[in-house]
Structure 1
Amino acid sequence: MIMVPAEKLWCAVESHLLPEEKNMNHLLTEEKVHKLMPIIEKILSRKYGKEINFIDLTIGNISVNKKSS
Structure 2
Amino acid sequence: MDDAEIERRADADPDAGLIPPGFWDPASPASVETKEQITLRLDVDGLRHFQSAGKGYQSRINVVLKSYVRAQEKRR
TM-score by length of 1: 0.29
Higher relative contact order (CA 8 A, sep 6+): 1
Higher strand share: 1
Which is greater in Rg? 2
